[in-house]
Structure 1
Amino acid sequence: MVGMTTVSVQTEQLINQFLDHLWLENGTSQNTLTAYRSDLSGLAKWLAPKQLQIASTDQLQSYLQYRLQSGYNKRSQARCLSVLRRFFRYLLLQQLRQDDPTQHIAMPKLARYLPKSLSEQQVEALLDAPDIATLVGQRDKAMLELLYSSGLRVSELVSLTVHQLNLNRGALRIVGKGNKERLVPVGEEAQSWLESYLANARSYLVGNANSDVLFPSTRGTAMTRQTFWHRVKKYAVIAGVAGNVSPHTLRHAFATHLVNHGANLRAVQMMLGHSDLSTTQIYTYVAQHRLQQLYKEHHPRA
């Protein structure tokens, strides 16, 4: 087995060029680029100096086996192989090598992950949990209603500004992963609570702060993801919704309930901001899984 080494300057430059390419061409997020750098640097350290560019299929398979023996799970292995495929295809594109050593390496078979969702009754209980007699409760009520209405990521929700919301059109302008912009509809119920919140609570929460944040904290500044996560956990307890409920759970509920009621999968993909339809297809399996459960529970010959 080849020992771990340091990454050469030449290899570091090659990795930087690849990551710059992804950022310029696709607007890949900084978090994703950091993960890609870690995966590629790990391989470069495992190989002999300056060998990354000319790595063979056998070497890559040996490295993946080394990771497996080191305790990495199949999902982590799949992500690493996906990064390697993109990297070596980039080298082909740049004519820095003539073949793709990842071409015949099979992707690990992963168990299908079904995201945790909530029933429509559980969502109703969660949305009714904030105390709307308080300013903070009015803000949180509007946030929860919007989250379920539009399926936002929590980072998108807490970073919203008043300029991104158009209540007349019932739409939000969202800048999501990779700086990709999309328009997301806002349901009538969420619109109503947003109008009430903007008329009665937001100005008091902003105070003297010169802020355009749609949902400010009690200090008038943008709320952190962690703060809102704790707010959701609190409301889940009040609503009697068991399990690990998070803002992302409401995003899953948004998509699952749309699919359950016959929504077009491509439309759900656009609203969620998924770049690949295969990511959205998981919700068809969630719906099928739920139907199978209901059948087993209620059919006399199940």
Structure 2
Amino acid sequence: MSSDDPALLPAAFSRALADYVTHLDQERTVSPHTIRAYAGDIGSLLEHLHRLGHDAFDRVDRRALRSWLAHQSTLGAQRTTLQRRAAAARVFFAWCVRTGRIESDPALGLRSPKLPRRLPPTLGQGQARALMEAMVARAAEDDGPVAVRDVALLEILYASGIRVSELCGLDLTALDHDRQVLRVIGKGDKERAVPVGRPAWAALAAWLARRDELVKSRAETAVFLGERTGGRIDPRVVRRIVHRALAAVPGAPDLGPHGLRHAMATHLLEGGADLRSVQEMLGHASLATTQIYTHVTNDRLRAAFEQAHPRA
């Protein structure tokens, strides 16, 4: 039986599928590709319900819909596919209720499988060290302020884990020189204090000593300045700086500023930092968001164990 041949479905199912496709085409004006995907998903669902002994919608319940998703999983469907099919079922049965085909919606509460939260590749600690050493060496060969700025910019991103928008938004008044702390305005206009290590603060001080060479207006309050504008640096410029710097590190993944944020969090946890402290430094509203970094450190511990332990 195939959803490409609706004549093999019970009459009620076949009519509903045909009407639903017409609805998608004429009322929702979705793309032909989307219509084919939805028709295939719903056709597969209706075939499954027919195999379970249903020839009408009145006795279809959530358990039957879950068994369809489970069957799809055993056939090798990926979680992204299962999420799409669960969403298709919810939309279809909501339409069935609106059009009077059923009184109650069996797809209410039908949950999509949760996708694992994945982190992009991150820098190893040795690569992060090599990145900073290469930038310092480059600045030593370059007499201009831009090279000094770039060292400070990279050091601050990696040391603090702040977002690129937060870095670009830093004002001179946000620097607590006595405690070597940044006052950062994060998401939701929430302010947090982020400590910075000695190498990063030294790089920042070196840049501030050269900052006047780029500034165009004494009224400019931004810490980091663009070379051409002399005003607050643009996030796109920061991304180019990070990409270019990482390209010079052998074996380093091609990351943007957010990759340095990931590296900072991962390396802190690898070094034994408390999860809630990392949460506060990153400005995460939920601890669950910070916990994704523990998966990375656990994976690395597992890899090290399997490589080194004689009975792994």
1:159 aligns with 2:169: yes
| Structure 2 residues without counterparts, runs of 5 or longer | 1-19, 29-60, 70-78, 91-105
Give per-residue Cα distances to partners, 1:224-283, cap 9 Å, x unaligned: 222111111111122224322211111011101111111111111111011111010011
Q: Deviations over 1:172-220 (max 9, x none)?
A: 1111112121111111221111112112x11101144631110101121
1:118 aligns with 2:127: no
Deviation at 1:112, TM superposition (A): 3.8
Q: Highest Rg: 1 or 2?
A: 2
Looking at structure 1, the residues matched to 249 and 257 of structure 2 have their Cα atoms a distance apart, in angstroms, of 15
* Closer, same or farther: CA 125–76 of 1 in aligned 2, 3 Å: farther
Aligned residue for 2:180? 170
Q: d(CA) in 2 for partners of 1:75 and 1:172? A: 43
Q: Identity of paired residues, percent?
A: 40
Q: Please state if 1:202 is matched with 2:205.
A: no
Residues 29-82 of structure 1 show CA distances to partners (whole Å, capped at 9, x for unaligned) of xxxxxxxxxxxxxxxxxxxxxxxxxxxx99xx9xxx9xxxxxxx839959x98x
Q: Which contiguous aligned blocks of 4+ residues in structure 1 show a shift greater than 4 angstroms?
A: 75-78
Following the alignment from structure 2 to structure 1, what is the Cα–Cα distance between the partners of residues 82 and 112? 11
Of 155, 179, 186 in structure 1, the residue corresponding to residue 196 of structure 2 is: 186
Query: Structure 1: any 5+ residue segments left out of the alignment?
Result: 7-56, 66-72, 85-100
Considering only aligned residues, what root-mean-square deviation do their CA atoms show, in Å? 3.3
Higher RCO structure, 1 or 2 (CA under 8 Å, sep 6+): 1
Show the counterpart of 1:211: 220
Contact 2:158 2:264 in 1 (8 A): yes
Q: Is the 8 A contact 1:128 1:141 kept in 2?
A: no
Per the alignment, residue 248 of structure 1 pairs with 258
CA distance 1:102–1:228, change in 2 (3 Å): farther
2:179 counterpart letter in structure 1: R
Q: Relative to structure 1, is the Cα distance of residues 161 and 5 closer, same or farther in structure 2, using a 3 angstrom cutoff?
A: farther
**1-side partners of 2:283 and 2:82: how far apart?**
23
Aligned residue identity for 2:220: S
Report if aligned partners of 1:182, 1:273 keep a CA contact under 8 Å in 2: yes
Q: Please, which moves more after superposition, 141-150 or 114-123?
A: 114-123
The TM-score, its normalising length taken from structure 1, stands at 0.66
What displacement does 1:223 show? 1.8
- In the other structure, the counterpart of 2:246 is 236
Within 5 Å, give how 1:1-302 maps onto structure 2.
1=20, 2-3=23-24, 5=27, 74=80, 104-130=109-135, 131-132=138-139, 133=142, 134-199=144-209, 201-208=210-217, 210-218=219-227, 219-302=229-312
